[in-house]
C-alpha cells in the first residue's frame, strides 16, 4: 500500500516536514492578453509563436473549441475566424513584466522561491506547518488574481513532484477551485492512480511509452516500483522521480539566481534577407538584448558565438549555415564592445547569394562581474564602460525598453519579427499605457 511508503520515508532525520507549493498560471500568455481587455472575459483567445507561426497558448474557452497546440496559424485561420477566436501575436514584454509582478507577490508569502519558468514557481512552505495550508494557498491565489488579473492554480505537497501532481489536478478539477493540498496517504494514492505516467513531471511521452511496456501506466505504479530497478532500466532522474512520488524529497529547490551557463538571443526573420547590412542590424539588436540580461544579473561574458542560417524548409534554395566563435580578451558586459566583435565576425562568415532566415548570438564563459580579471592599464576604460552601460539601462528602465540604444540597431527592417496582431505593451511602454475613463 502507498501508506507504507509514506510512513517509511516520512522520517528523514529532520524535525521539520518538507512542504512545497507549486504556483502555475493558467493559460498564462492568453490570460495576460485578457487582463487589460475586459471584453475578452469568457471569450476564446490564442497566442501565436514568433512571426505569427503556430499556436503556443490557448485560453480554456479555446481549448473547449478543440483548438490544437502547435497548429500552424495559416492552416486554421479561416476556421478560427468562424469560431470567433481572438488571435494575438506574442507580446513578450507584457508577459515578462506580469511574470515579475507575480513573483514579487509570491515573495510576500515565503522568502524561499524557485522561479521555475515564466509561469511557474515553487514555494517552500516548510516553516508554515502550523497554518491551514489550504487556506494559505487560497490567499495566494486570490492575491495574485486581485493584483495582476492572472488566474493561478496551486498544488501543495511534501515534494516538488507531488506538488506537480496536485497542481495538475487543481487545474483540471472544478471541485478544488484551483487549490489542492495532497497530504493524507489515501488522497495521494488516489491522485497518483488517476495520473497517467506520461503526465508525471520529468517522465514525458518517450519514457512513458517505455514504462508502459513494463506495465507502469500510472504515477501510482511508478511509486510502487523498485527504485533500484528504475535506475537500472532508466536513469537516476527517473529513480528520484519515483522516490518523490513516495513522499521522499530528492529534488531540491533552486533558491535565488541559478548560475547561467550561457545566454542566447536569436530570432527567425519576418522576411528573408541577403544583405549583410540587415544581418549586422539584427545581430546588434540580439547582442543588446543578451548584454542587458548579463548586466541585470551582474555578470560578464568571456566568449561569444554568432550564427546565420538560411531557411532549411526552402529545399529548392541554396542552403548555408555559418557560425564563428570569438574569445574575448577580457570578460565584459559592454554592449558596444560585443557589437563590434559580432559585426566584425559576421563579415568572416557571410556569403553572398544566400537568403538568410535566422541569426543569433550565444554568450558563454559567464562569470560574476566582480570576478573579472582586468588589465591594470585599462582601469579608466572599465569605469567609463560601467558608467555608460548604467546610464543606458537607467534611461531604458525609466522611459521604456529600447528608448536608447546603439545606432547600429536601427538599420534595416526585413529581419524584424512579424507581429501583425501585437497587443500594446500596457505595463512597459509609457505611450501604450491603458487609459481609464
Instruction: Report strand pairing: 86-88 vs 45-48.
Output: parallel
**Within a domain: 415:** no
Residues 324 and 398 in one domain: yes
**Within a domain: 174:** no
Residue indicated by cell numbers 542587458? 292
Side-chain-side CA neighbours of 292 within 13 Å: the count stands at 19
Instruction: Report strand pairing: 20-25 vs 120-124.
Output: antiparallel
Side-chain-side CA neighbours of 156 within 13 Å: the count stands at 25
- In this structure, what are the phi and psi dihedrals at residue 260, rounded to the nearest 5 degrees? -75, 135
Report the C-alpha gap between 373 and 200 in whole angstroms: 45
Residues 268 and 246 in one domain: no
Question: The domain that contains 214 carries what CATH number?
Answer: 1.10.150.20
**Within a domain: 423:** no
Residue 199's domain spans which residues? Answer: 1-17+182-250
Task: Provide the sign of the torsion angle of the four alpha carbons 195, 200, 204, 209, taken in this order.
Answer: negative
pLDDT digits (tens, 9 = 90+) for 355-366: 999 999 999 998
Q: What is the pLDDT of residue 269?
A: 86
Report the C-alpha gap between 332 and 354 in whole angstroms: 33
Question: The domain that contains 332 carries what CATH number?
Answer: 3.30.1490.100
Report the C-alpha gap between 132 and 129 in whole angstroms: 8
**Within a domain: 258:** no
Residues 47 and 60 in one domain: yes
Residues 13 and 95 in one domain: no
Instruction: Report strand pairing: 120-124 vs 179-181.
Output: unpaired
Q: How many domains does the chain have?
A: 3
Residues 201 and 151 in one domain: no
**Within a domain: 320:** yes
Residues 87 and 214 in one domain: no
Task: Provide the sign of the torsion angle of the four alpha carbons 203, 207, 212, 214, taken in this order.
Answer: negative
Report the C-alpha gap between 126 and 110 in whole angstroms: 10
Q: What is the pLDDT of residue 88?
A: 96
**Within a domain: 429:** no
Model's pTM, two decimal places? 0.79
Which residues, at least 6 apart from 371, have a Cβ–Cβ distance to it below 8 Å?
A: none
Residues 30 and 107 in one domain: yes
Residues 200 and 151 in one domain: no
pLDDT digits (tens, 9 = 90+) for 95-117: 999 999 999 999 999 999 999 99
The tens-digit pLDDT sequence of the chain (437 residues) is 555 555 455 444 445 689 999 999 999 999 999 999 999 999 999 999 888 889 999 999 999 999 999 999 989 999 999 999 999 999 998 999 999 999 999 999 999 999 999 999 999 999 888 889 999 999 999 999 999 999 999 999 999 999 999 999 999 998 999 999 999 999 999 999 999 999 999 898 999 999 999 999 999 999 999 999 999 999 999 999 999 999 999 999 887 655 678 899 988 888 889 999 999 999 998 999 899 888 888 889 999 999 999 998 888 899 999 999 999 998 998 999 999 999 999 999 999 999 999 999 999 998 887 767 665 445 546 667 777 777 776 777 666 666 666 766 666 666 666 778 899 989 888 788 888 77
Residues 63 and 93 in one domain: yes
**Within a domain: 197:** yes
Question: The domain that contains 153 carries what CATH number?
Answer: 3.30.70.270
Q: What is the pLDDT of residue 24?
A: 97
Contacts 24+ apart (CB under 8 A), 165-168: 165/191, 165/192, 165/195, 165/200, 165/201, 165/219, 165/245, 166/22, 166/191, 167/22, 167/24, 168/195, 168/199
Residues 274 and 378 in one domain: yes
CB distance 159 to 244 below 8 Å: yes
Residues 199 and 141 in one domain: no
Report the C-alpha gap between 270 and 352 in whole angstroms: 20
CB distance 151 to 179 below 8 Å: no
Residues 360 and 300 in one domain: yes
Amino acid at each position: 500500500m502507498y501508506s507504507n511508503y509514506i510512513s517509511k520515508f516520512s522520517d528523514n532525520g529532520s524535525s521539520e516536514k518538507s512542504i512545497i507549493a507549486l504556483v502555475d498560471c493558467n493559460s498564462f500568455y492568453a490570460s495576460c492578453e485578457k487582463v487589460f481587455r475586459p471584453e475578452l472575459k469568457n471569450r476564446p483567445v490564442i497566442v501565436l509563436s514568433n512571426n505569427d507561426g503556430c499556436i503556443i497558448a490557448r485560453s480554456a474557452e479555446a481549448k473547449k473549441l478543440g483548438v490544437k497546440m502547435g497548429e500552424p496559424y495559416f492552416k486554421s485561420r479561416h476556421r478560427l475566424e468562424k469560431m470567433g477566436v481572438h488571435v494575438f501575436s506574442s507580446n513578450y514584454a507584457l508577459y515578462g513584466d506580469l511574470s515579475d509582478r507575480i513573483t514579487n507577490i509570491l515573495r510576500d508569502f515565503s522568502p524561499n522561491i524557485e522561479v521555475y519558468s515564466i509561469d511557474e514557481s515553487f514555494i517552500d512552505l516548510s516553516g508554515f506547518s502550523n497554518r491551514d495550508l489550504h487556506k494559505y494557498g487560497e490567499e495566494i491565489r486570490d492575491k495574485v488574481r486581485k493584483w495582476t488579473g492572472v488566474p493561478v492554480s496551486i498544488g501543495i505537497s511534501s515534494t516538488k513532484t507531488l506538488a506537480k501532481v496536485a497542481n495538475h489536478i487543481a487545474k483540471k478539477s472544478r471541485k478544488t477551485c484551483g487549490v489542492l493540498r495532497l497530504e493524507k496517504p489515501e488522497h495521494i494514492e488516489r491522485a497518483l492512480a488517476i495520473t497517467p505516467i506520461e503526465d508525471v513531471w520529468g517522465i514525458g511521452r518517450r519514457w512513458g511509452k517505455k514504462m508502459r511496456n513494463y506495465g507502469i501506466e500510472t504515477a501510482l505504479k511508478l511509486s510502487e516500483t523498485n527504485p533500484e530497478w528504475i535506475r537500472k532500466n532508466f536513469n537516476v532522474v527517473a529513480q528520484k522521480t519515483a522516490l518523490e512520488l513516495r513522499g521522499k524529497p530528492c529534488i531540491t529547490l533552486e533558491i535565488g539566481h541559478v548560475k547561467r551557463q550561457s545566454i542566447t538571443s536569436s530570432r527567425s526573420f519576418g522576411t528573408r534577407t541577403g544583405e549583410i547590412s540587415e544581418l549586422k542590424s539584427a545581430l546588434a539588436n540580439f547582442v543588446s538584448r543578451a548584454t542587458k540580461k548579463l548586466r541585470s544579473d551582474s555578470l560578464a561574458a568571456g566568449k561569444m558565438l554568432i550564427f546565420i542560417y538560411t531557411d532549411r524548409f526552402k529545399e529548392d534554395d541554396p542552403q548555408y549555415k555559418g557560425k564563428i566563435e570569438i574569445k574575448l580578451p577580457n570578460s565584459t558586459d559592454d554592449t558596444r564592445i560585443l557589437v563590434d566583435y559580432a559585426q566584425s565576425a559576421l563579415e568572416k562568415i557571410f556569403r553572398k547569394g544566400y537568403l538568410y532566415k535566422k541569426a543569433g548570438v550565444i554568450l558563454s564563459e559567464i562569470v560574476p562581474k566582480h570576478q573579472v580579471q582586468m588589465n591594470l592599464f585599462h582601469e579608466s576604460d572599465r569605469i567609463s564602460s560601467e558608467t555608460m552601460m548604467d546610464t543606458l539601462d537607467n534611461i531604458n528602465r525609466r522611459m521604456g525598453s529600447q528608448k536608447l540604444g546603439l545606432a547600429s540597431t536601427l538599420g534595416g527592417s526585413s529581419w524584424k519579427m512579424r507581429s501583425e496582431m501585437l497587443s500594446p505593451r500596457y505595463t512597459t511602454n509609457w505611450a501604450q499605457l491603458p487609459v481609464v475613463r
